[in-house]
Amino acid sequence: MTVDVAAQAWSGRSDGDGDDVLRWHHVTAPLTGPDAPRDAAFVGFRSDEGVRRNQGRPGAAGGPGALRSALASVALPAPLRAVDAGDVVVGDGALEDGQRRLGEAVTALLDAGGPVAVLGGGHEVAYGTYLGVAGSRAMRAGARLGVLNLDAHFDLRDAPRPSSGTPFLQMARDEERRGRRLDYRVLGISRLSNTERLFRTADQLGVSYLEDTDCGLLSLDRVEAFTGAFLDACDLVHLSIDLDVLPAAAAPGVSAPAAYGVPMEVVERVVTAVAASGKLAVVDIAELNPDLDIDARTARAGARLVHRALTGTPQARGRR
């Protein structure tokens, strides 16, 4: 079940009336019905359970609220309509049930018209998001799914229980059961943060990836080629952004801050390219831990990337 948090969270600065002074809090309303008109939709996933199981630092359950607060006063280039379906709350260790409920919510939002932004939560949010995409009308009609993860970690861990370290292996196994291969690609992999077993697993699954050392401002041609090849190979994109892909100075409020990381300029360019392709179905933001943040830096970084994803689509740009 979701809880209604939209009315409380979406408030912020106002500079008068008119379409030229709009911010996200002006255009976002609680979801009142499945057919409510919208250009974008939000749903939150308040979960620490996956991080806890993965031996990380809990606190990501506060991520959805912090992301909404950071996004609320971000200025809009054109009038949009957005709805907020509230939060899926994971309690008492019931991660799998929470992922199932998130999937149901995402499917309903996608089938009513996307794109959808899922505000996490630990990176276990990605599997719940995937369940929603996999059940959507577009996938039932045969669309080719591509999953692009901006992350320092593969999150392909083979563990007895699902966690924030397992979502993409879970996706690969689900796709295999459906007779498909998961097209999974990762940008920002840290060689120091992934064991050799994880690299072998990635190779066995045919995962394409770029390491963080190949994602700097001097490597933009390589990053753009990687992103372009991904977009050419799919019809529908699940974009997953783990904020620990960014350098620790830009994103200190995560369970595992990056010693190196991918510059915001590069991450934002990738997000913008995905949005402009017209193929973005859903973007999820993971690992924001407000308890560890400094001056809301990480929340603001996440909000900026959500903003770029949702305002960069052909549908949104057409309203300017």
Binding-site annotation, residues for Mn(2+): 123, 151, 153, 155, 242, 244
How far is Cα 302 from Cα 285, in angstroms, rounded to an integer?
7
Q: Taken in order 192, 196, 197, 201, is the CA torsion positive or negative?
A: positive
**Cβ-contact 280, 115 below 8 angstroms:** yes
Contact predicate 202/153, CB 8 Å: no
Terminus-to-terminus CA distance in the chain, angstroms? 36
In the chain, how long is the greatest CA-to-CA distance?
A: 57
Tell me the binding residues: 123, 151, 153, 155, 242, 244
In eight-state DSSP terms, residue 247 is B
What single-letter amino acid sits at 92? D
Strands 82-89 and 2-3: antiparallel
Rounded distance between C-alpha atoms, residue 144 and residue 288, angstroms: 30
Q: Which amino acid is at 244?
A: D
Q: Which of 38, 107, 36, 117 is nearest to 71 (CA)?
A: 117
Residue 317 burial (C-beta neighbours within 10 Å; 0-12, 13-18, 19+): middle
